[in-house]
A and B are shown apart, each in its own frame.
Chain A
Amino acid sequence: ETGVTQSPTHLIKTRGQQVTLRCSSQSGHNTVSWYQQALGQGPQFIFQYYREEENGRGNFPPRFSGLQFPNYSSELNVNALELDDSALYLCASSPNRGMIGSDTQYFGPGTRLTVL
């Protein structure tokens, strides 16, 4: 158990809809990253938030957006869903920068999104 939780576990949406996925980081972890993992592939970095600001982004379009809140929770929002957005979405939190282990990520169990 990493202490990182995600909700919901599974979600089914139709093309064109919008979705919000939620993550609760471990207490004291002020960095959260989101990943998309397609079936049979490794996780792909979407973006990272540090102290409620986006400070890094992968090769994903603007319809993927996020928020991080002071209570160590965060959201991933995806607008105008496409069939290719079907994947496992993982969030990972890291201890505060400068602290021992700050370069280790602790993953949640993921949300499996299916777009029909």
Chain B
Amino acid sequence: SQQGEEDPQALSIQEGENATMNCSYKTSINNLQWYRQNSGRGLVHLILIRSNEREKHSGRLRVTLDTSKKSSSLLITASRAADTASYFCATAYSGGYQKVTFGTGTKLQVIP
């Protein structure tokens, strides 16, 4: 079963605009991670935010985490055509082993 739900399911924007994707989850977590997937191939790790952190930046990426609302958002600023991909949030909980549970994904299209 999927732990997270991404919103929106699909997003189409013009190059240069900002893209915001949201993720909601159901249970306690140790950390939340965002991944990118191009054309149904392997996933690329983008950023990890721990449960005691509220905001994290990496280049054009900004991730926020609100554990009281069990939600996270990923902001991509100044989007580029190369950002076109599916984006997944993944929650991780360590209970003997680190179980990572992925959400349903947001399909982002950046139009040149």
* A105–B42 touching, CB < 8 Å: no
Which residues on the B side are within 8 Å of A112 (C-beta)?
40
Scan residues 11-50 of chain A and give those whose CB is less than 8 A from a CB of chain B.
31, 33, 35, 37, 39, 41-45, 48, 50
Majority secondary structure of chain A interface residues (helix, strand, loop or mixed): strand
- Tell me which of B13-21, B55-63, B67-75, B97-105 binds A: B97-105
Residue count of chain B within 8 Å CB distance of chain A: 27
* B1–A59 touching, CB < 8 Å: yes
Nearest Cβ on chain A to B78's Cβ, whole angstroms = 25
* B41–A43 touching, CB < 8 Å: no
CA distance A43 to B30 in the complex (A): 19
Q: Which 4 A-B pairs have the closest CB atoms?
A: A42-B102, A56-B97, A107-B42, A109-B42
- List residues of chain A with CB under 8 Å of any chain B CB: 2, 4, 31, 33, 35, 37, 39, 41-45, 48, 50, 55-56, 58-59, 88, 90, 92, 94, 103-110, 112
27 inter-chain pairs at a CB distance below 8 angstroms, sorted by A residue, are A2-B42, A2-B44, A37-B40, A41-B2, A41-B105, A42-B4, A42-B88, A42-B103, A42-B104, A43-B102, A44-B2, A44-B102, A48-B97, A58-B99, A59-B1, A88-B40, A90-B43, A94-B98, A103-B94, A104-B45, A104-B48, A105-B33, A107-B42, A107-B45, A110-B40, A110-B41, A110-B42
